[in-house]
Amino acid sequence: MIKTPQLKIALVQTNLYWKNKVANLAMLEEKMWEIANEVDLIILPEMFPTGFSMDAAELAEPMNLNVCKWMVQMATQKKTTITGSAIIQVAGKYYNRLLWVSPDGTIQHYDKRHLFRMADEDQSFSAGESFPIFELSGWKICPQVCYDLRFPIWSRNRMIDGKLAYDLIFYVASWPAARVSAWDALLPARAIENLAYSIGVNRVDEDGNGIKYNGHSAAYDYKGNQIEFLGESEKITVLTLDAEELDSYREKFPAWMDSDDFVVK
């Protein structure tokens, strides 16, 4: 499928109720109905139903239960794709799973590869192994979750059939304020090195563990130029990505043709 000329994306930077799925889904539903624009994609933060908790056994649910059903309902009613991560249990294992839900009810997913050991995430969750590329209106999109941002090899825009694998890479996150300088530096770096748009959606305020978050959700173009910045308060913004500008830049500055060939195992 040929890329549509533009892709409209809503970034939802919000506080989250601590380990309260009912409250979070109700709050986010209200916020999403406030998005008046017709958008192609709505991006929510990491673990949006619960906040970033290691209480996986307490908070997990299987696929196609409450969180998935809510996302399908919202995607269908809003006629848009919705994404964000949640705690999902599969065959006795727990995953920090990014869910990608289309308006037709189709659910795809990406399991967070790099688990944040400094918070014992690696003790509570299993790491993902797949590297999916989602497609939306002809755009190729690479999903990532929070700590993945620190590992550029995993997210490298590799060649597939002579073309770059993706046009947009995005990160859903619960990235603490104490390390936001790394967030601010790495998001544009991922855009520059991959010749792709880069988006990060982070939460704000304080969680039940006393960890503070200050947002800084942002979008960068393929040159690393900032095209959107949400600051440090709750905010929703809609931005537009341009396919012609992206493809034109890749043609004029084909650094991707000199990239190193390797396989991630």
C-alpha separations of 81 from 93, 100, 102, 137 in Å = 27, 7, 4, 11
Active site residue 46: yes
Catalytic residue, from 112, 121, 140, 142: name it: 112
Q: Could you say which of 21, 46, 68, 121 is catalytic?
A: 46
Q: What is the DSSP string of 47-92?
A: TTTT-S-S-HHHH-B-TTSHHHHHHHHHHHHHTSEEEEEEEEEETT
**Angle, nearest 10°, between helix axes 66-78 and 21-33?**
10
Pairing of strands 6-13, 235-242: antiparallel
- Give the pairing type, strands 168-172 and 163-164: unpaired
Residue 111 has what DSSP assignment? E
Q: For residues 225 and 236, give the distance between their C-alpha atoms in angstroms, rounded to a whole number.
A: 20
Structure tokens at 185: 């530096």
- Of 3, 140, 142, 146, the catalytic one is 146
Q: What's the rounded Cα separation, in Å, for the pair 97 and 46?
A: 9
Q: Quick one: 28 exposed, middle or buried, by C-beta within 10 A (0-12, 13-18, 19+)?
A: buried
Closest among 229, 218, 206, 203 to 169, alpha carbons compared: 218
142 is catalytic: no
73 vs 148: CA distance, rounded Å: 29
Residues known to be catalytic: 46, 112, 146
